[in-house]
Amino acid sequence: MIRQNSFTKEEVAEKEVKYQCSICQDREYIIDRHSVKPCRCRETKIYQRILQKSGISEAFQRKTFKNYDTNKKPLIIINAKKMAMEYVAAFQKISQQKNNSIAFFGQVGAAKTHLSIAIANELMRRNIGVLYMQYREIITHLKQCIIDEEYYQREISKYKTCSVLMIDDLFKGLLKKNKVNDTDINIMFEIINYRYLKGLPVIVSSEYAVDKLLEFDEAVGSRIIEMSRGKIVEFEGIELNHRLVI
């Protein structure tokens, strides 16, 4: 009997080069004789580069389901993780539905951001583009460029049209002197309403409760609630004796 230990040329090449995307071999474009098309991995790679540029890439990647600790944690924390993992597992199907989003509201310290980022990381691993929007920072940026209409439209359209938008800390710092900042609301309405009409998912975290969200602005709040129906966790009054892994 002859044992074959040698590899074919192709097998050797395969072993030497491990591409993140085997479809385009990390070129991000699919090139054939007649056309050049962006590969499905391209959007994800663009968003990864944005994270790297802003210096939060590593911190972002560290937030996974694996290190979202549910040991001896209240049932709501355990269920939130379960819901988040189920959302990722069924995403292809869910993304076709009207209620294709997921939201975590309430209590500071419940690691809502961790859970949202874990979802984003898992989706990105599957080459689904998730754009990370740190609410306060991005809203400030958008307000700064509002006088340059063309630039503003280009900037806001990123958040309107990305495959999945993750909004971290929605409405943080919205209240100024106990008054809701109307410009913030208008910008958010433009983004949320567009995504709502186009059926584009959002992953939302906010320290505010659902009723507060509606109180701030019913149009924005009710759309997010409708988009996330069945996949909303509201953390409230949980005994958080020890800090959760964040």
Interface positions, 3-22, toward Zn ion (CB under 5 A):
21
Q: Does 124 bind Zn ion (CB under 5 A)?
A: no
Question: Of the ranges 23-31, 78-86, 139-147, 215-223, which one interacts with Zn ion (CB under 5 A)?
Answer: 23-31
Number of residues that bind Zn ion (CB under 5 A): 5
* Residue 125, helix vs strand vs coil: helix
The two tokens of residue 99 are 């209620």
Question: Of the ranges 32-40, 61-69, 107-115, 137-145, which one interacts with Zn ion (CB under 5 A)?
Answer: 32-40
Q: Does 23 bind Zn ion (CB under 5 A)?
A: yes
- Give the DSSP letter string of 141-186: HHHHTTTSHHHHHHHHHHHHHSSEEEEESTTTT-EETTEE-HHHHH
CB closer to Zn ion, 46 vs 214 = 46
Q: Does 138 bind Zn ion (CB under 5 A)?
A: no
The dihedral sign for the CA sequence 3, 6, 11, 15: positive
What is the residue whose two structure tokens read 């995504």? 195
Spatial distance between the Cα atoms of 37 and 220, rounded to a whole number of angstroms: 35
Q: Does 31 bind Zn ion (CB under 5 A)?
A: no
What is the smallest separation between the CB atom of 177 and Zn ion, expressed in angstroms? 49
CB closer to Zn ion, 40 vs 158 = 40
Q: Does 41 bind Zn ion (CB under 5 A)?
A: yes
CB closer to Zn ion, 41 vs 227 = 41
Which residue type is seen at 112?
K
- Cα first-last separation, the chain: 57
Q: Does 78 bind Zn ion (CB under 5 A)?
A: no
Q: Residue 101 in contact with residue 224, Cβ under 8 Å?
A: yes
The two tokens of residue 175 are 């209240």
Q: Does 233 bind Zn ion (CB under 5 A)?
A: no
CB closer to Zn ion, 14 vs 137 = 14
Contact residues for Zn ion (CB under 5 A)? Answer: 21, 23-24, 39, 41
